[in-house]
Every structure is written in structure tokens, then in C-alpha cells.
Chain A
Amino acid sequence: EAQVTQNPRYLITVTGKKLTVTCSQNMNHEYMSWYRQDPGLGLRQIYYSMNVEVTDKGDVPEGYKVSRKEKRNFPLILESPSPNQTSLYFCASSLDGFYEQYFGPGTRLTVT
């Protein structure tokens, strides 16, 4: 089954404790992206990747890192999480960024 998977689905952590949210797709898509969703603000892009080893900032990249060492994986790294990063995070993939984007199930992160 074609899908985008994210882990963990739920995470509660404390300020400053490094964490990684994994994202994997099995559709051989070139393009992958991370979004966060906040009430009243909608979904906003954090980072995206056009291909392996090619990443770039989206609209709200502060406090986040990403890497793209393999085509199928695009982890989101929070090296020192803060409470303002409490949010619902979505990973997405697309054939090349111009086609339909497929979203993962989301990761609900709470930073206390």
C-alpha cells in the first residue's frame, strides 16, 4: 500500500530534550516536506526536500533541522524543543513537488 508513515504519532517531552520525528514514504517520491498545523494559523511549511541531499527552508524553519540521506526518509529534528513548538506535525511527499501531495497521519507533539 502506498503511504507516508510517521513515528511517533504522539510525543510529550520537556524543554531542551532533543527529539527526532521520522517520516518514510514507499512511493519513490523525489519531493518530501514537513508542515506544522496550529489553530487559527493552518498548515505552514517547515522544510522541504527536492531530492536526496537537497533540502531548503520553508516558512517557519526556526528551531528545526532536517536531513535527506535516502530518498524514502526525511526526519525532522528538534535539537532543543521549546513550548512554542507544541503542534501537530505532518510529513508529505510528492512525485516532484508539482504533483499531488500525500500526507502522513500526523505527529502530535507537546513540549512542556
Chain B
Amino acid sequence: KQEVTQIPAALSVPEGENLVLNCSFTDSAIYNLQWFRQDPGKGLTSLLLIQSSQREQTSGRLNASLDKSSGRSTLYIAASQPGDSATYLCAVGVGGGATNKLIFGTGTLLAVQP
């Protein structure tokens, strides 16, 4: 059974710091991995999608990497800002054919202090 773990559960950093969020999964049979951001009381905003054949994706100050063989992904945030404060979720896409779904980690709550 696929399990997704995110460490740390919570993180507080001063503004301007570079930081890394970690995501690990137990089964390497995934077809993609997606990072989301969730603000309090809000929905999920997709940040980056990495297909299983890819190693990394970049968008602005964000860089996500994927190592399927070791069951790990990292989300790197450069020059953090208070506006980056949110919960970050990673999800792996599993299935194929008639069954496709995302399995989520429980998230990392990030606070960027001004």
C-alpha cells in the first residue's frame, strides 16, 4: 500500500532563507508527483507536476526534484517570503488504466517570518 510522508510537519524560517521540504513515498510505481500549496480555509493550488520520467521541474523560485528509485521528492524554495507561508502538500499519482488517483502526504506547515 502506497504511503506518502512529509517531513518536517512544521517549519518556521526567517524571510530570505532558502529552504527544502521533503516528501517520501513507499512504492516507486507512480506515474507522477504533484506539489500543492494550501492556504488556510482555501483550496489547493498546484505548484509543480513532475512526470515519472522526469527528474525535476522549476517554476520561478520553486524547484522540485524526483528520485523514484529512492522514493523521494524535494521542493526547494529560494529566497523565501512571508507570502510563501502556507501548507505544502505532495501527492503521488498511482494507478493506470481504470484506476487513477492521487495519494497525499499530510503536509508541511511553513511559516516565513518577516
Contact = CB atoms under 8 A, between A and B. Distances in A.
Contacts of B10: none
Interface string A33-58: 10100001111110010100000101
Contact of B42 (A35, A101, A105): A105
A44 B104 CA distance: 7
Contact of B49 (A48, A58, A99): A99
Interface string B58-100: 0000000000000000000000000000000101010100111
Contacts of A98: 31-32, 93, 100
Interface residues of B, number: 24
Interface residues of A, number: 26
Contacts of A100: 34, 46, 49
B43 interface: yes
B58 to A, nearest CB: 15
Interface in A87-110: 90, 92, 97-106
Given A48-B101, A56-B99, A97-B95, A43 B42 contact: no
A31 interface: yes
Interface of B: 31-32, 34, 36, 41-46, 49, 89, 91, 93, 95, 98-102, 104-107
Given A45-B102, A98-B100, A103-B36, 6 more contacts: A33-B102, A43-B89, A92-B102, A97-B93, A97-B95, A98-B31
Interface of A: 31, 33, 35, 40-45, 48, 50, 56, 58-59, 90, 92, 97-106
